[in-house]
Structure 1
Amino acid sequence: MYFQVVTLALLALLPMVNPPTTATLLLGLSKGMSREHVRQQVNLAAIYLFCSLCICFFIGSSILELFSISIPGLRLAGGLIIGFIGFRMLFPAPTEANNVDINQSIAFVPLTMPSMCGPGTMALVISGAAQIAALPDEYSRFTLYSGMVTAFALMSLISWGVLKLADPVCKVLGATGIDAMTRIMGFLLVCMGMQFCINGIKEVAQDPAFHTQVIQQTTPTTENTPTP
């Protein structure tokens, strides 16, 4: 059962985390940074990813309930962040091109969140935790939880390896290639951010509670209706 949990969780996380997309984002954001600083950010991003996945799995639903945050709200917030970052990459300010902060930290935002551990990944991990909690007592909780944590560690290791490949790609592309890649990735990020927002709005529109609230607000009450 342990190996089944690890395999299934890893296969489910791979398309959601999507490390190659984050590696492309790293190429655009690391322009002007030293290679040592980029390697440090990659190492931190892998650690942050593992911690974020564990937090979402064990206490993610409690945090969302504590602050009354829904999954559609999480998607909308993530979409706005991704769209803002993409817009800055697509249309960089003239001052930013000359004054690059070589010590800028990009490990947590946006590499870990919302790129690798975005709303979709959080929703997947939180729903998986809810499904495990609903299983009968005959299933060993220690085996299930240890399998999930192992899958998170392997996912972080795979992401670390993919992000490490961004450094040799920078050498091949050069300054002109990195600038072109930055603008292309900026456009894709704007599209991804808008798609996240669209998905969040669709989920809100399909929520039965939303329809009930709209009907209650649009239906006139009998108290305000004048009697003949």
Structure 2
Amino acid sequence: MQMNFTEVLSVSLILFSIIDIVGNIPIVINLRKKTGTIHSARATIVAGLIMVIFLFLGDKILGLFGIDIGSFAIAGALIMFLIGMEMVLGIELFRSDAEESGSSSIVPIAFPLIAGPGTMTSLISLRAEYELTNILVGIVVNLLLVYAVLKSSSWLEKKIGHAGFDVIRKVFGIILLAISIKLFKNGLAIW
């Protein structure tokens, strides 16, 4: 278990592109508007726990329930698709428990936006290629970035403005739809 900067950088970049916290800013702002608050630290910690647990036990957990990675990816893709539809169409397709509790920190921010099926599936793949220590450091690097973005979401919303937010929300909604369809297709291919 030796730390390798190149591996840490590779893992960090792979996870950064999959988590896409910068691309999820409009979703975070939209959820904060709906629920009133987002607990940045709680969302980051829960997402980190999910990622670390899945890194060590992911294939066993899915196997315990008789779920293959393809089915897991398809389920996550459907959730992301619904969130994307809400963003693009400006409608509410379902009411989550987060709205009643006044927080959306765990669902859907910690899961599936940060530690979603794409992230989890990637962690299983990364474990086959990289040292465990380097993967764990890559996870921590990404969690620090996630925390910074979540914590600054109010400031970002003020800088973007209402009209800018609406445009960005629709654009990223379409991107989220495309990502969900890609995840769905990849899930079908694995399945």
Residue 168 of structure 2 is aligned with which of 178, 181, 193? 181
Q: Supply the AA of the counterpart residue of 1:59.
A: L
Residue pairs, 1:183-222, within 5 angstroms: 183-204=170-191
Read off the aligned partner of 1:122 and give its amino acid letter.
M
Identify which of 10, 15, 32 aligns with 1:13.
15
Distance 2:73 2:145 in 1: 25
Q: Quick one: which amino acid aligns to residue 120 of structure 1?
A: G
Is 1:149 aligned to 2:136, yes or no? yes
TM-score norm. by structure 2 comes to 0.80
Larger Rg: 1
Amino acid in the other structure paired with 2:179: M
> Following the alignment from structure 2 to structure 1, what is the Cα–Cα distance between the partners of residues 82 and 150?
22
Decide whether aligned partners of structure 1 residues 28 and 10 sit closer, same or farther in structure 2, where only a CA change above 3 A counts.
same
Instruction: Name the CA distance, whole Å, in 2 between partners of 1:147 and 1:108.
Output: 26
Question: Please, what is the CA RMSD of the aligned residues?
Answer: 2.7
Q: Structure 1, residues 184-221: CA drift from partner, whole Å, max 9, x if none?
A: 333332332222212222333xxxxxxxxxxxxxxxxx
Q: 1:108 aligns with which of 102, 106, 116?
A: 106
| Change beyond 3 A, Cα 1:64–1:33 | closer
Gaps of 5+ in 2: none
Tell me which moved more, 23-32 or 69-78: 23-32
Change (3 A) 1:147 1:131: closer
TM-score by length of 1: 0.69
Task: Describe the shift of the 1:167–1:78 C-alpha distance in structure 2 as closer, same or farther (beyond 3 A).
Answer: same
| Partner of residue 154 from structure 2, selected from 161, 167, 182 | 167
Answer yes or no: is the 8 Å Cα contact 2:35–2:104 preserved in 1.
no
